[in-house]
Amino acid sequence: MRRDALYFPGLVPTKFSAVEGFLRTNDYARSRISVADEFLGYSLVDSYATAEVYDWEVYESGFMVLTLALADWALDHVEIDPVLCGGQSFGAIIAAVFSGVLSYEDGLALVRGSAAVEVDYFDGLAEPLGCLFFYRLNSRQVDELVAEFREVGRDVEVSIYLDDSVHAVSGPLADLDPLAERIRESGGHPFYTMNRSEHCASVRPLRDRLETEVYDQVRWRVPRWPMLSDVSGRLLSDPEEIKRDLLDGWVTPVHWSTVVDGMRTARADHAHIVGPRNMFSRITNNALPTDVITPKTVADRERAREVSPP
């Protein structure tokens, strides 16, 4: 019997045009959208079509709807027998909804409430914070650059070790600009700066506000499948422990190796990565066989079914 890991990547900026067909025509997507529209009080697809990545409520809700619909489709059309469900960064929230830790409505409430608190927190800071994403440097080089900047008083922290090539560093925007230049000088390629920090100790006040103002206001349940922590790599089934783990993700750097090691410890022998892009598949594919479930996966499967003889 195959032992599958069902995994949801973090929020990756994706052009609406790349997912519009799936959102507007797929029955699984339309079912998820109908509930979201009623809960949010507006047309999520129409808002998502014009949203910027910094329109956090719309963008995160749209990403959640899209990803959950892909997972719904996969359970009906792909041979999957999950022994665990997990996600990286925002993907962990989606995993909590899909595994039943949060109801769909509570997941949408969590997104809406968290977005409001995050905007209030970051807008209220005296010094703007950000998170710089880049690739083509290995983890040792990244740690050395961060140490170099911290030695001269620049408060930067590594937020993400996605693999030994893709990383992210959080800190004041005034410190990230010169860091980006040093990254280029070292042979790296900065490609995206987000207007908030995440997965670092400096946002502890935000993590604590989210706990009391948002996470304590929704109901947490026992999951359908154990949740794989991207903080510790452990399998979690206690609702309160899962809640704390998701909160602690705000102040703990992401190490993709922690996730892969957790899958191995759980004796998963196949990974299914669910989301709009397939960039994460190359990482787990080095450790265990990996399939991706994207809008293209759905379109290809449906096209093949149309041309197959009866």
**What tokens appear for 8 in the block?**
């949801």
Fold topology of 129-194: Alpha-Beta Plaits (3.30.70)
Query: In this predicted structure, what is the pLDDT of residue 143?
Result: 97
Fold topology of 4-123+202-307: Malonyl-Coenzyme A Acyl Carrier Protein; domain 2 (3.40.366)
pLDDT tens track for 13-26: 788 999 999 999 99
Among the listed ranges 49-53, 130-134, 146-150, 239-243, which one has the minimum average pLDDT value?
49-53
pTM for the full predicted model:
0.94
Distance of CA 170 to the CA centre of its chain: 16
The percent of residues above 90 in pLDDT, for the chain, comes to 86
Residue 45 pLDDT > 70: yes
Query: In this predicted structure, what is the pLDDT of residue 310?
Result: 56
Top-confidence residue, 250 or 284: 250
Among the listed ranges 144-158, 259-273, 282-296, which one has the minimum average pLDDT value?
282-296
Query: In this predicted structure, what is the pLDDT of residue 126?
Result: 96
Asked whether 213 and 97 are in contact (CB, 8 A), the reply is: no
**Rounded distance, CA 37 to CA 50, Å?**
16
Residue 305 pLDDT > 90: no
Top-confidence residue, 306 or 95: 95
Residue 178 pLDDT > 70: yes
Top-confidence residue, 265 or 280: 265
Average pLDDT value over all residues in the chain: 94
Residue 306 pLDDT > 80: no
Structural domain boundaries of the chain? 4-123+202-307, 129-194
pLDDT tens track for 68-86: 999 999 999 999 999 999 9
Q: What is the mean pLDDT of residues 23-46?
A: 98
Query: In this predicted structure, what is the pLDDT of residue 277?
Result: 76
Q: How confident is the model at residue 304 (pLDDT cuts 50, 70, 90)?
A: confident
Residue 307 pLDDT > 80: no
